[in-house]
Amino acid sequence: MKKILLSGLLLFLAMTGLAIAGPPETLTAAYQQFNALFTGEWQQYGQLFTGLQKDLFPRLFLLVITIVPVFFFLHYVAIGPMSFPHDGKQVYCYTLFVRIIHWLAAVSFSLLVLTGLLVIFAKLLGGGSLGIWARIVHLVTAVIFSASVIPMFLFWVREMLPAVHDLKWMLIMGGYLSKEQKAVPAGKFNAGQKMWFWLATIGGAVMAVTGYFLYSHQGNIDTLRLSAIIHNVLGAAMVALFLVHLYMSLAAIKGSLRSMISGYKAEAELKILHPRFKY
């Protein structure tokens, strides 16, 4: 009896679906309308976001924060850092204002990276209030970084414009893959520094906008989903180049950290790493 009922029901449903496809008064059409209301747009960005967050983003960040340091460790062991005599003539490269802005951006950006990674890997730390505080610190430092990146963009943008010799610099990887010290094609800033500059300023602006959406939950749901995707992908790129910048300034070129503190660079270093720089 139950079987007959069931097959009868199926036949009924099929018939009603075929006979009255258009008018929204039918049950089937009404359910279809509700379905479109609930899940219609989900297939577009909701599914994309779910898939990416489930399978890609945490792994992407894990890859970045493991592979990049391993690569640099190997570089440090195999090729070693560059070292230049610092007792010769000194060249004044960075004014006090530039250095203050740089360190304001540097400290806030470091905190952004740290708290961002804390949110992504919050499960390892149990989540809860630690994650909530990481998000609040992320917000405050984002405001400080956004404020400091504007003057930074203005005083460096002219020297950061791409030039033809940047391609050559990229091809020889800035000369970091060989032990011998040969002059590389670079002006005041080399192609690597330029990439970092544009990613930090323009990319930083994009991060600020998408981050505003994510933090405030303003805008429609697809805006939020796209913001989350952009914020994560761009964030991974920024973390990667942040680690590069960290390695270059702290380890790969001996004494380069001092130039951002005192403002002076040794002429011997500039002749090799920034030969086109007219000072």
Partner 1 sequence: MGRMKFLCDIERCIDCSGCVVACKEGNHIPVGVNRRRVITIGQGQPGEKSISVACMHCSDAPCIAVCPVDCIYQRDDGIVLHDKEACIGCGYCFMACPFGAPQFPGGQVFGARGAMDKCTFCAGGPEETFSVKERKLYGQNRIAEGKVPLCAAMCATKSLLAGDADEISDVYRERVFKRGSGANAWGWGKAYKDK
- Interface contacts to partner 1, rule CB under 8 A: 5, 9, 12-13, 15-16, 19-20, 23-25, 27, 30-31, 33-34, 37-39, 42, 46, 49-50, 53-54, 58, 119-123, 126-128, 130-132, 134-136, 139-140, 214-217, 221, 224-225, 228
Considering the complex, what minimum distance in angstroms separates the CB of residue 60 from partner 1? 13
Rounded Cα distance, 8 and 6, in Å: 5
> For 24, how many CA atoms within 13 A lie in the half-sphere containing its CB?
5
Rounded Cα distance, 11 and 166, in Å: 70
Considering the complex, what minimum distance in angstroms separates the CB of residue 269 from partner 1? 43
Cβ contact 132:96 at 8 Å: no
Q: Could you tell me where the beta strands, DSSP code E, fall in the chain?
A: 90-92, 264-266
Considering the complex, what minimum distance in angstroms separates the CB of residue 110 from partner 1? 20
**CB-wise, 65 or 184, nearer to partner 1?**
65
**CB-wise, 52 or 107, nearer to partner 1?**
52
Considering the complex, what minimum distance in angstroms separates the CB of residue 65 from partner 1? 15
> For 35, how many CA atoms within 13 A lie in the half-sphere containing its CB?
7
Considering the complex, what minimum distance in angstroms separates the CB of residue 146 from partner 1? 15
**CB-wise, 87 or 126, nearer to partner 1?**
126
Considering the complex, what minimum distance in angstroms separates the CB of residue 159 from partner 1? 37
Cβ contact 136:118 at 8 Å: no
Considering the complex, what minimum distance in angstroms separates the CB of residue 190 from partner 1? 36
Query: Which residue reads 């800035």 in tokens?
Result: 174
**CB-wise, 24 or 80, nearer to partner 1?**
24
**CB-wise, 128 or 182, nearer to partner 1?**
128
HEC string for 125-165:
HCCCHHHHHHHHHHHHHHHHHHHHHHHHHHHHCCCCCCCCH
In three-state secondary structure terms, 265 is: strand
Name the DSSP class of 81. Answer: -
- The dihedral formed by the CA atoms of 200, 206, 212 and 218, expressed in degrees to the nearest 10: -170
Name the DSSP class of 172. Answer: T
**CB-wise, 23 or 158, nearer to partner 1?**
23
**CB-wise, 90 or 223, nearer to partner 1?**
223
